[in-house]
Structure 1
Amino acid sequence: MPEDFAVTVGAGTLAPADGDALALPHRWTAEGVRATVSFTGAHLLHLAVAGCVLNDLYREAHARDLPLAGVAVTARGGFAPGTWASTGVTYEVRVDTTATDAEVALLLEVVDEVAEIPRAVRQGVPVSRPTAPARSG
């Protein structure tokens, strides 16, 4: 069974309580964002997806005047043995809000459409390296 490279990012009432969680400032929350993540390329890819979704949930909720006391996003996926091709990324969202179920459902739909990193990953992202090696001074 392929390894599951899961990460969780959270803010507000749903921020991870793990003392080892990475803490980062965040435009939309006074306490910042906390992430449980290992430092591997696979985890960092999933962190980018989860972090983007969390950020856009706050942005879009603010634009719609929906209160969010907390948000947690877990992104996960695997990679094919030998090639390290992604087998796909899935993400789950939990929200602590007084908004109605219909408002939350619409918010999740909008964020799934506008979140930049998931959109880029879905399209395929060309990655290149300059041909000349970089050398430090």
Structure 2
Amino acid sequence: MDAGELKAADVQVEIATDLETAVRATPGVRSVYRSGSLISNLLRAGAAALGGRPEDEPLVSVAPVGDGVAVEASIGVDSAAGSGDTLRAVHAAIDAVLATQGLRSDSITLTVVHVQPAEAAPAG
């Protein structure tokens, strides 16, 4: 597959879903959030409410750029895992998914939007 084939909405959703699954499965990732500004997220929610876009679309964004793709993901990480290590692991997971699809990354933008403290150990 090349970046040109990614212009079809259903192909973009399929790849974005695969990417989101890989990001969620990465050790240290506690959650995945919708990328973008508050305003773009409000516009997206409004369009979904009007029937423009499904609300259950993947949270990871993927778009064709030149000969490659741009991927954007916002994540919550476990404080015990460390943000830097988790970001490197997520980047590798995204590269692996793209490689299986025959795609090359033009850019991968990862944002840590929440660091969740480790669960308190039960007293005992």
**Structure whose residues are more often helix by fraction:** 2
Considering the TM-score relative to the shorter chain, is it more than 0.5?
no
* Structure with more contact order per residue of length (Cα contacts < 8 Å, sep ≥ 6): 2
TM-score (norm 2): 0.45
